Amino acid sequence: MIRFGVLWLQLSELFVSSAVHLLYGFYIFSSAVAGDLYQAFRECLCKPSPNLDESRDPAATTHVENLPPIVLVHGIFGFGKGRLGGLSYFAGAEKKDERVLVPDLGSLTSVHDRARELFYYLKGGQVDYGEEHSVACGHSKFGRIYEQGHYPEWDEDHPIHFVGHSAGAQVVRVLQQMLADKAFNGYENTSENWVLSITALSGAFNGTTRTYLDGMRPEDGKTMKAVCLLQLCRLGVIVYDWLDIPWLKAYYNFGFDHFGISWKKVGIWGLLNCILGNTGPFASGDWILPDLTIQGSMRLNSHLHTFPNTFYFSYATKRTRKILGLTVPSSVLGIHPLFFIRVLQMSQWRHPPDVPPPYKGYRDEDWQDNDGALNIMSMTHPRLPIEHPSHYVVSDADCQPLEPGIWYYKMVEADHMLFIVNRERAGVQFDLIYDSIFQRCRKHVFRKSLPTLPNNIVADDE
């Protein structure tokens, strides 16, 4: 009877979680479509005047072009510029600066694959996932072609600022390590110094216990339970990619095109093989969730470095508090509906007693504070399996002058989605966070001196 009751609760929770995620996905998709239709309607009614002079001051243009770009890297289920119509993953934050890039990477592909995609998005050319990796994971070595890179001059003399949300922060760290390891064929001069700064917004550095709640097995951090939310997600993604509807995939793409699971290539038997777990990204483990378990993050972190010439910053978001020694959600209305159940569950997380802990010294209480998707333990700075240099920041004045090679981190009262998709939810905090990030990129972490505008040049004899 007890087992039946537990099973009923688990199925009820699965139904509620699935319904919430599905409804939110439909809400985002329909909002994007509605926004595009409204924009098209406005353009039909109000055609821009051809007589308007939209030219810029040449000096200002030169100054902008001399600035290193700020690259915003999305997280899981995210999207870049050009997907979901006019909807912005970063809620329009990219408009705060004239030199911002928002790449569209695979929303569910592995950290490795996304790091490779990000490199070629910037430099140009055909994405090369690497021979060894591609053979091991069962997909094509090559992917999307970028006829023109978005920053082809990228090198040590033209470095880049990166801002990564959630898993996007780990993607940038892996990319920097690949640059240091000279891991891109035809680019023998890459180095870690191509990266000027990395800023993480709710960064997934050390994994999250949410992966286990969603269905990853805590025994290995690689495989999924037979019945769970991730299994439903897996089936939906396989069918979506197999149907391969061009206009739909142009609107939103999970990023698994290099696995070639379209009906045009594999037919009905290929679909069955994917569903049965014999082929595809979920069979090989080459997708994002295994990288977000504690064990998967430790495997990644074991060869990732914090480099001495790069500036590192992190904003850890939190929606829990302590009451009488218990960790509970800090509010009800202030937590996104997509995350409320998970905030509660993660705050009460207990590692299964019959399963070996993921690392020596593991304690449940270290992983209870969270934002509904990630634990505070994961977001501050890389700390597993080896803790990297870090400094807790209360006020920006506490860490001046800034030093490279140290993770400066702040705590922010917010859930995992407060600073993306919907700007109105964050209110004034949205501007405070992004303004501080962009201002720091522009004023405080230049490896070389700031470019000087022509009208600011002072003669030597003055």
Backbone torsions φ then ψ of 409, nearest 5 degrees: -130, 145
Among all chains, which residue has been given the structure tokens 């994007």?
32
Picking from 74, 76, 188, 89, the residue whose alpha carbon sits closest to that of residue 121 is: 74
Q: Are 73 and 162 in contact (CB under 8 A)?
A: yes
Q: Is 2 helix (H, G, I), strand (E, B) or coil?
A: helix
Measured over the CA atoms of residue 88, residue 92, residue 98 and residue 101, the dihedral's sign is: negative
pLDDT at 3: 57
Neighbours of 304 (CB within 10 A): 18
Distance CA 29, CA 7 (A): 33
User: pLDDT tens-digit profile of 94-139?
Assistant: 999 999 999 999 999 999 999 999 999 999 999 999 999 999 999 9
Give the dihedral sign, CA 351/353/357/358. Answer: negative
User: Which has the minimum average pLDDT: 23-27, 126-130, 441-445?
Assistant: 23-27
Tokens of 232: 């439903």
What percentage of the chain carries pLDDT values higher than 90?
Answer: 76
**Do residues 126 and 145 touch, judged by C-beta distance below 8 A?**
yes
Q: In what helix (H) or strand (E) does residue 321 lie, and over which residues does it extend?
A: strand 320-323
Q: List phi, psi (to 5°) of 411.
A: -105, 135
pLDDT, position 423: 93
**Which residues lie closer than 8 Å to 284 by C-beta, 6 or more apart?**
136, 137, 138, 139
| 205: Cα separation from own chain's centroid | 11
Average pLDDT over the chain reads 89
Secondary structure E strands in 156-283: 160-165, 195-201
Which pTM value belongs to this model? Answer: 0.90
User: With 60 as the cut, is the pLDDT of residue 274 above it?
Assistant: yes
CA distance 279 to 272: 9
Backbone angles phi, psi at 288, to 5 degrees: -75, -35
User: Contact at 8 Å (CB) between 359 and 298?
Assistant: yes
Determine the pLDDT at residue 22: 73
From the CB of residue 334, how many other CB atoms can be counted at a distance below 10 Å? 14
Take residue 103 and report the two structure tokens written for it. 């790449």
Half-sphere exposure (Cβ direction) of 180: Cα atoms closer than 13 Å: 17
Q: Give the model confidence (pLDDT) of 394-440 as tens digits.
A: 987 777 788 999 999 999 999 999 999 999 999 999 999 999 999 99
Give the pLDDT score at 196: 97
Residue type, 150: H
**25: Cβ contacts below 8 Å, ≥ 6 apart:** none
- Residue that is written with structure tokens 């790069």 in the block: 310
Question: What type of residue is 344?
Answer: L
- d(CA 23, CA 297) in angstroms, rounded, equals 30
For residues 119 and 137, is the Cβ–Cβ distance under 8 A? no
- pLDDT confidence tier of residue 48, bands split at 50, 70 and 90: low
Residues near 381 by beta carbon (within 8 Å), at least 6 away in sequence: 205, 312, 314, 387, 388, 390, 407, 409
Residue 270 has pLDDT above 50, yes or no: yes
Kindly tell me if the per-residue pLDDT of 6 is higher than 90.
no
- Alpha-carbon distance of 385 to 383, in angstroms, equals 6
CA nearest neighbour of 117 among 221, 211, 253, 247? 253
pLDDT tens profile 335-348: 988 888 899 999 99
Q: Answer for the pair 391, 408: CB distance below 8 angstroms, yes or no.
A: yes
Position 41 pLDDT exceeds 80: no
> What's residue 13's pLDDT?
63
Q: Which of 262, 268, 270 is nearest to 245 (CA)?
A: 262
pLDDT digits (tens, 9 = 90+) for 170-201: 999 999 999 999 999 999 999 999 999 999 99
